[in-house]
Amino acid sequence: MKVIKNLFKVSLLVVLLVAFATAHRSDEEPECEYECGNKFYRYYLDDEPAEYGIKAGHYAQNKTAFIGLSIYAEKFYLFHQLQIDPPGVIAYGASGHSFLLNDTKKIWYLYNNPHHKYEWIDFKNASNSNFTLKIAADSSGYTVVPARIVRPNGLVLVGAAAPITGFMYYADENGMSVSATSGYQILTCKSCKKNETKYPLPKYTFPSPKDADSDPVTGCINNWQPYNNDDAPVKNGISAGEYDCNNTAYIGKARNIGQYYPGRIQIYPQGGIYITSNGLSFFKTITGYYLVNNPNYTYYWVPFDGLKLPDNTVYVRNDVSSWKYGVGRVKLNGHTRIGNVVYPAMTISSDDNTRMVFNDYEVLVCDPWPKYQCAQQWKKINANISVDGFSIDSTSFIGRTTFKCIDDCNYGLGKIQTNSTGVNYLDDLTATAVFDNSSNVEYLVKNPSDTYKWQPSRNGMKVVNALELHKEGHRPFYIGMTRINDNVVVGKVRPGDGLFFIDPITGKQQSTSSYEVLTCTSPDASNGEYEEESDNDWFGSFGCPVRKEWSFTKWRCICRDEFRGVFAASGAKWNEEICSYV
């Protein structure tokens, strides 16, 4: 009996101690049962999320996925998989593919607050939870929450789920944009602090509906005429290159499943329009249109820069309720392919009628002025540079100096500061920065009647109406620009290569394959009509045809050696023009 009494006293003491500890903990460490005030930090493509972000698991061996927030289609925020290697978020596009978004202005990571309790819960058990991390995905109040799928191998796929519909949207292992209605989890968050501060969403200026859903005011009023399987596109259409030997592809559009898609008009061997719809190709012989080449407009192809479609992109469909389809082209198996562009990729159908997606392509744009190239004017540096000079930013102008003249003059290109009488330029021979304040220094005059634009480009490709700095042989060097830590940097664009410039911090040479080229068009026909670019200028290395390469010793295109080794039949002779035995 005495033992029982002692056990009762001990039990009572334990109960009292537990109650006291619980009460004490409620004062110091309250239960995490409050709504979270979540915060997002900008992701600068560094390792910061590894220390402060919320982990969702591994998306590959030894590679961690974090919860990211990014801008979707320039319209609203959406949860995506954020990663450090390679840096960026895996976003999913409207055309059925995923892509790596690494624009630091548009991506954030979710901060791992130590006073929060995060938990992944099966969606069916948490669809009505008050502790999900909801964000408004559009102006109508449609909300999404972070979600993940855990594969049998333990790897995860991160995306966004919509509680109102039950769908999760994510990019699968094959890079395709897919959705699921089950088998996924959503992230919940409970705060340990009552009345926690509610942080607003990251600040980002979305394009206005007019900018996002309609052609810019300065764009062309494009003229689409019915295509009747005749030669009208040959006389009045826009060429995109050859779709097979000696047959030209023109720009057209046709309807499929109630919508118009861009495509290739062919005249031979059978007239019609090839379009790609939902990843499949269709050959239309009726109900098609061709794009008329207006002589008062400038149509040209601009390389996709990975960030946004060019201004004045030619669209075949344009309304506020559906995605805009632009006209794109790519070279495949030696021939031009026309496809539909829905930011940020272009889709075509392959030879076996399967979907092919490209992130490296060109987009057709149209500017409402004639194809007259500017006549450049350079002046010796003087006190009036602020009046008529071409300014790069608030403190500098485009300048050049002559530093080598043999057959043709070579110019050093760089900045002229407003308080300086010289130009800092990159010496091509020493690959270092040089300052020149001699009488050779000139500045670029900006003619008020001309139209100047910085056009995206890459890899030293030819750009319509680009301002040429000088030529070496017959290869033009252009005026290019890029940004380093928000500083505008100018330099030379070398044909077939890229932009070379001075690093503003180290003073040493740097290069990039993605940049912008200064173009200029004039309303004055006396400046001379610009010569149309050829397929060889666009497709080949250094402007050479497919079987040839550029020779810096001979200054012309020569046949590649691998084609000379092809078996030659008895009596066959080598043809240098076509790089083949005939």
Amino acid at 184: Y
What is d(CA 184, CA 182) in angstroms, rounded to the nearest whole number? 6
Q: How far apart are the first and last CA of the chain?
A: 116
Tokens, residue 40: 């997002």
pLDDT value, residue 18: 46
Residue 390 contacts residue 399 (beta carbons within 8 Å): no
Enter the DSSP assignment of 325: E
Can you give the pTM of this predicted structure?
0.49
Helix (H, G, I), strand (E, B) or coil at 158: strand
| Nearest C-alpha neighbor of 318 from the set 405, 418, 221, 438 | 221
**What secondary structure does DSSP assign to 86-121, as a single string?**
TEEEEEE-TTSBEEEE--TTSEEEEB--TTEEEEEE
3-state secondary structure 372-425: EECCCCEEECCCCHHHHECEEECCEEEEEEEEEECCCEEEEEEEEECCCCCEEE
Dihedral of CA atoms 552, 557, 561, 565 in degrees, nearest 10, equals: -160
Q: pLDDT for 483-519, tens place per residue?
A: 877 678 899 998 777 888 888 878 888 888 778 899 8
Element housing 14 (H / E): helix 2-28
φ, ψ (nearest 5 deg) of residue 253: -150, 150
Give the pLDDT score at 141.
Answer: 63
Residues in the chain: 582
Residue that has been written with the tokens 């040089």 in this structure: 434
Low-confidence ranges of the chain (pLDDT < 50): 3-4, 7-8, 10, 12, 14-18, 20-27, 209-218, 319-321, 530-541
Whether residue 86 is preceded by a cis peptide bond, meaning omega within 30 degrees of 0, is yes
Q: Residue 324 in contact with residue 246, Cβ under 8 Å? A: no
* Distance between CA atoms of residues 44 and 108, nearest Å: 8
3-state SS, residue 49: helix
Question: pLDDT at position 283, please?
Answer: 87
CA–CA distance, 248 with 234 (Å, rounded to integer): 9
Contact 375, 128 (CB under 8 A): no
pLDDT the model gives residue 490: 92
Q: In this structure, what token pair is assigned to residue 27?
A: 């004062």
**Is the Cβ–Cβ distance between 464 and 456 less than 8 Å?**
no
Give, in degrees to the nearest 5, the angle at Cα 256 between 328 and 309. 25
pLDDT in tens, 245-273: 778 899 999 888 778 889 999 888 888 89
